Amino acid sequence: MSGDDHQSTSTAHRRPREEDDEDSPCVKRSRPSPQKCSLLDLSDETLLLILQLLPSSLDLLRVAESCSRLGRVCRDRTLWIRVDTRMCARKLQTPRHLRRLIPFLHEGTDSAAFGGRVLDTIPGKETLTPSMLRELSLRCPALSELILERCFIDASKVTPTCFPSSLRRLALPGCEVANQTKESYFKDVHLSLPTLEELILRDCLWLSNHSLLSLAKCERLRSLDLCGCVRMGECFVYTALATRFGFRHLEVADLRDTNICDSEVQCFGRLPEIKTLKLGKSSSSVVVPFLAESEGDGKITDRGLLSLVSYSGDQHSSKLTSLTLAHTDVTNKILPKLITSLPLKFLDVRGCAKVNDKGARSVWQVRPHCEVLYGHVDGDSDLSQEEQSDEGELPVVILNPL
């Protein structure tokens, strides 16, 4: 065979491979280069779902200011029903920052939460202004919840009369109120906030005991959180008068980490509608400062709880179903009397050195379905260990038992 014939034969053999069908796995085809995907390539519906996941309304505001299309999507009314700036990475939120949110709010906005970070705020620099609160009231006539967390409030400018009158829930946890007068900051709050049902004043060190007289006039108030308000208990007369003539519909009272002592237990424990009462400390690490001018010492003992005991055995006069006595000085002896006199379904005596398994079993013998928390707690009061008794029927939670 000649060289020409051999070349033609090789070409003939190669040609079918070059002309193979393109579906053959042996054929190498050029792939299109990947296209870059932009956020703006997504549909408005998809963008809206993504924007709903942003942790802070201020982050949403920054997105809205980035371009016209995102600004249009960010104005969707569903994104501004609940406004919350507390998760914003910015350490200091000033009126200038928060005022930019106002144009996005509307008559359907139901909740507004602002975080001021008091510890990072320059002294004398308020987080909110009266004009901002007035504009908030005008734009959100149905606003039911307002949360001001760690905000600096100038009492000479901002008073409860500045808050939207439609509020049902007001929370001022950790706020600092400066420039107060001798009168209570909450004077006439029942007139300015007639529909108020829940008030949270946790860790408000400025709150005076005589403010209870003003708060007691709120006829619809059902929940009051005074945990960490150390001035509570400084004068028994104010507490006695407030609970004697007010708080007629109060169902929940949190008085932990205060100077409330035995004498005030009866004042709150015998309110006509009270269902949940929290006394003692929220954690074993909490140290409540003793105030020299205070009448209370913050100690809760069997003596104070005896005022809740009905020796007639009639439980119909009390609606107290949940009682917290964590880190108090109560003993096993008072527990059977409490469970006999009160319709308790929950009893927390964690961190009480004189309460042990014997006391918990005495509760169970009277009311088997009552949940009892007891034991020694290290750190905070969260459950660290749960165990059931060997019998399998005792509904008792044991925390770090000795």
Cα(40)–Cα(64) distance, integer angstroms = 13
User: Domain ranges in the chain?
Assistant: 301-402
Going residue by residue through the chain, which has 402 residues, state the pLDDT in tens, using 9 for 90 and above: 555 555 554 444 454 544 445 455 555 555 655 667 788 888 999 999 999 999 889 889 999 999 999 999 999 999 999 999 888 755 556 667 778 888 999 999 999 998 866 545 455 566 778 888 999 999 999 999 999 998 888 999 999 999 999 999 999 999 999 899 889 999 999 999 999 999 999 999 999 999 999 999 999 999 999 999 999 998 999 999 999 999 999 999 999 999 999 999 999 999 999 999 999 999 988 888 877 777 878 899 999 999 998 655 555 588 999 999 999 999 999 999 999 999 999 999 999 999 999 998 999 999 999 999 998 755 444 443 343 333 344 444 554 443
For 173, residues 6+ apart whose C-beta sits below 8 A from its C-beta are 147, 149, 150, 200, 201, 202, 203, 204
Q: CB-based contacts of 351: which residues, under 8 Å, 6+ apart?
A: 280, 281, 284, 326, 327, 328, 376, 377, 381
Residue 34: what pLDDT? 63
CA distance 363 to 370: 8
pLDDT in the model for residue 63: 93
80 neighbors 109 (Cβ within 8 angstroms): yes
Instruction: Tell whether pTM > 0.85.
Output: no
User: Beta-carbon neighbour count of residue 33 at 10 Å?
Assistant: 6
Query: By C-alpha distance, which of 190, 147, 357, 384 is closest to 283?
Result: 384
Coil, helix or strand for 13? helix
Looking at residue 31, the DSSP 8-state letter turns out to be P
